[in-house]
Structure 1
């Protein structure tokens, strides 16, 4: 039996070797319940044969794959090739462990948003989907900084309020000061990925053009969630007047 293999290579060397070919095509990893954001890590368990093949190919090449969400109406078609949203997030495999039965545990670091240009035809022997993509920028102009920093402060306050509304009694208190050293781009992308939101809502956040637009949309999401929770009684039922 093959022993389990582990690869815990640092990201610095990996990110300095972005292949030119990546800007043309990338293997796709469609999921119905996860949306990856740039700068955020996602632990993933790979068990389907086609995606085990994809991970093996990526690890032997440039280590890049593209995570992309499946349209919610087609989430029950994951065994086939369901329709995909046009925008996904490229990621580099920073940690990997192959189990004895061929499954993988990996950590994927999101790097860049991309837009699908064209899905390539099926190829003999290849079980997974591949697409030509265009990398998308997340512009952050200096002139936007005051507005972005104000939005950042508001998002931290709303997120703190939301956590307090949902926290179990006696749990540790969350303080806005905990986020002081987190830059606004990392903050908004991390919260977008970690918050318990419907996949389609996260997809809308991913498709926002830059951190200012993403912070504005996340502000609206958090305001709605906070108001919804505040309206409910402790047992989860709406309050009556």
Structure 2
């Protein structure tokens, strides 16, 4: 497989287009694979040295994209590669897998494979920082405060003591991935420049949801 010019990551990987399935560097995404073409995709990934899959969101029908920023029609141009870190084959021939996020990438092109899935030609250069832990500081107190209100609204249970002890990047990755945001909102979280920007986006999105549920009253009161 071709390698990228700057490191040991490949420049071509199997691609899994899936709406509302957000993977971030350091995050963990469980998947249930059952379509024949995507079973073949997993086989191809497992046979490669890196065991990588590129997660990309399809663009929704009501969204318009500039063709210069969307080189592959119907797909967002920024995705995230995940390494298969768990694999199980079921008796009914499904694959249960888990991906661990490695790095974001820019989608350059795609190639249809004989078994029906697509390989993605990708560029990693602008996301080199994803390979290192994001040590930027975030203001956790307002994030967790809004998070508690949002989880109560959605009926989510959480281990708050564990959340308080989690690292910033892990907290942001998990929260971004589990919250039931719209496709465009999840894409904005994926494309955020750094941890602080992603935290600000998360707070804004949860406050909007709380504001709407309160009939327009300020979510922070």
**TM-score interval w.r.t. the shorter chain?**
0.7 to 0.9
CA contact (8 A) 2:15 2:56 kept: yes
Distance in structure 1 (CA, Å) of the matches to 2:32 and 2:73: 20
Indicate whether 1:57 and 2:41 are aligned.
no
Match of 1:13 in 2: none
Among 131, 155, 165, the residue aligned to 1:167? 155
Distance in structure 2 (CA, Å) of the matches to 1:208 and 1:200: 12
Q: CA deviation at 1:65?
A: 0.7
Indicate whether 1:131 and 2:115 are aligned.
no
Among 85, 90, 94, the residue aligned to 2:85? 94
Indicate whether 1:118 and 2:118 are aligned.
no
Q: TM-score, normalised by structure 1?
A: 0.72
CA gap of 1:34–1:175, structure 2 versus 1, over 3 A, is closer
C-alpha RMSD over aligned residues: 2.7
Matching of residues 208-223 of structure 1 within 5 Å: 208-223=192-207
Indicate whether 1:158 and 2:149 are aligned.
no
User: For structure 1, which runs of at least 5 residues remain unmatched after alignment?
Assistant: 1-19, 76-80, 233-241
Distance in structure 2 (CA, Å) of the matches to 1:69 and 1:141: 24
CA contact (8 A) 2:14 2:53 kept: yes
CA gap of 1:153–1:176, structure 2 versus 1, over 3 A, is farther
Q: CA deviation at 1:74?
A: 8.2
Indicate whether 1:191 and 2:178 are aligned.
no
Distance in structure 2 (CA, Å) of the matches to 1:74 and 1:48: 26
Q: TM-score, normalised by structure 2?
A: 0.78
User: Is the partner of 2:76 in helix, strand or coil?
Assistant: coil
Q: Deviations 1:155-181 (Å, cap 9, x if unpaired)?
A: 11100111223439xxx7x67544221
Match of 1:226 in 2: 210
Q: CA deviation at 1:68?
A: 0.6
The structure having more radius of gyration, on CA atoms, is 1
